[in-house]
Amino acid sequence: MGSVPTMGTVRAFAAQALEQLGTQLGNEDAWATVRALLRERLPDVIPELDKESPLDPVWSAQLQADLKRLAAGEPLQYVIGHVEFHGLRIAVDPRVLIPRPETEELVDRIIRSCKNAPERIVDVGTGSGCIALALKQAFPAAQVFGLDISAGALELAAENARTNHLDVQWSRTDALGEALPQWMRSMLSGPGNLVVSNPPYVPLDDSSTMQPHVLDHEPHLALFVEYADPQQFFRAIAQAAFPALHPGDSVWFEGHYRHAPQTVEVVKQAGFPHAELITDLSGNPRFIHAWV
């Protein structure tokens, strides 16, 4: 069995990668992707300064495999296997959505809004567990629950909890089923509760406008809702949460910028006397904060 031939230098690999990815991503995004990949695989190498650094055969083979996946449209985050989220290392793969900057902003807003640390935190549709884990890190004394319908997502969330040494309880629960209201009534037995959700909210009809690397690789179960009722998850979660909450308890949602104003009305119709719409850092209506 012959040895894997070396590719030469960092410069040589970068040139090859830019040639393969430039048409697909554009030169600027292609370079950002290549740089991030090199910094991940070769942490002691600074691509801009160490262009002539040689690549040994092992890393040449790894980078070639990575480049093949990227050229096929797979997101960089899946290729390297993790993201940084609110100071945590969160593993991601096709079982879960890749956390977006807006979701990190949601966590920031929740933390800053809490005058008192919550006693219980429920993350409905937890996916990778990034929200639940970031809030557990911020409020270490809180009892934190992550709920999801996907067994695969919960397996990865539990792995992320172990990696980050955070204690979160995971539960396989359908946000649209009868179990969620029962679960809320049972677990939120006293005051000091915070419910948060970044549920599926992209109308299925919007799939034709989405970027291929999202549409072809990220889990549709966590992305899409039927166009006829884009509010179905927000309605179900708000209706399940409201009867179980106590004065001072709150709910936070991340929503679709085009449908977020309607989400506020859906939350109010579920019984919440107070609900506000908050724009994200890009100026888009994005977050819904409701409280009892």
Q: Is residue 147 part of a domain?
A: yes
Q: What is the pLDDT of residue 24?
A: 86
Q: What pLDDT, on a 0 to 100 scale, did the predictor assign at position 271?
A: 97
Calpha distance 180→184 (Å, rounded): 6
Q: Is residue 47 part of a domain?
A: yes
Structural domain ending residue among the three candidates 41, 72, 103: 72
Alpha carbons 83 and 85: distance in angstroms, whole number: 6
Q: Give the whole-angstrom CA distance, residue 38 versus residue 13.
A: 9
Q: Tell me the HSE value of 184 on the side-chain side, using a 13 A CA sphere.
A: 26
Between 168 and 22, residue with greater pLDDT: 168
| Domain boundaries, position 214 | 83-291
Looking at the structure, tell me whether residues 40 and 103 fall in a common domain: no
In this prediction, residue 54 has a pLDDT band, given cuts at 50, 70 and 90, of: confident
Q: What is the mean pLDDT of residues 62-74?
A: 94
Q: Are residues 187 and 105 in the same domain?
A: yes
Mean pLDDT of 270-286: 96
d(CA 241, CA 123): 12
Residue 66 shares a structural domain with residue 94: no
Same domain for 20 and 147, yes or no, is: no
pTM above 0.85, yes or no: yes
pLDDT at residue 1 in the model: 37
Count: domains in the chain: 2
pLDDT (average), residues 152-161: 98
147 with 222, same domain?
Answer: yes
Mean pLDDT estimate for the chain: 89
Checking if the pLDDT of 143 tops 80, the result is yes
111 and 36 part of one domain = no
Does any domain span residue 3?
Answer: no
Percent of the chain predicted with pLDDT > 90:
73
Does residue 2 form part of some domain? no
Place of tokens 């990668």: 17
Q: Residue 3's pLDDT is what?
A: 41
- CB burial of residue 46 (10 Å; 0-12, 13-18, 19+): middle
> Do 126 and 240 fall into the same domain?
yes
Say yes or no to pLDDT of 258 above 80: yes
* Any domain includes 77: no
**What is the model's pLDDT at position 4?**
39
Tell me the pLDDT band of 169, cut-offs 50, 70 and 90: very high
**What is the pLDDT at residue 53?**
84
- pLDDT tens per residue across span 180-191: 999 999 999 899
| Residue 148 DSSP class | E
**Does residue 104 share a domain with residue 243?**
yes
Distance CA 130, CA 98 (A): 10
Of 72, 101, 118, which closes a domain?
Answer: 72
Q: Which two tokens stand for residue 92?
A: 């991601």
Least confident of 56-65, 80-89, 143-152, 223-232: 223-232
Least confident of 26-40, 71-85, 165-179, 206-220: 206-220
Q: Nearest CA to 67 among 85, 53, 55? A: 55
- Domain final residue, candidates 72, 91, 118: 72
pLDDT at 146 over 70: yes
Counting residues of the chain whose pLDDT is more than 70, the rounded percentage is 88
Which has more confidence, 142 or 223?
142
Task: In whole angstroms, give the CA distance from residue 156 to residue 135.
Answer: 17
Are residues 156 and 17 part of one domain?
Answer: no
What confidence score (pLDDT) does residue 6 get? Answer: 43
Distance CA 122, CA 196 (A): 6
Q: What is the pLDDT of residues 209-249, one digit of tens each?
A: 556 555 555 565 555 566 567 899 999 999 999 999 999 99
SS3 278: strand
Q: Are 88 and 66 members of one domain?
A: no
Residues 89 and 24 in one domain: no
**Which residue in 200, 179, 282, 216 sits closest to 74, CA to CA?**
216
User: What CATH number should be reported for the domain holding residue 96?
Assistant: 3.40.50.150
Give the amino acid at 172.
R
Phi-psi region of 129 (alpha: psi -120 to 50; beta: other; left: phi over 0): left
Tokens linked to 232: 């179905």
Mapping DSSP to helix (H, G, I), strand (E, B) and coil, where does residue 5 land?
A: coil
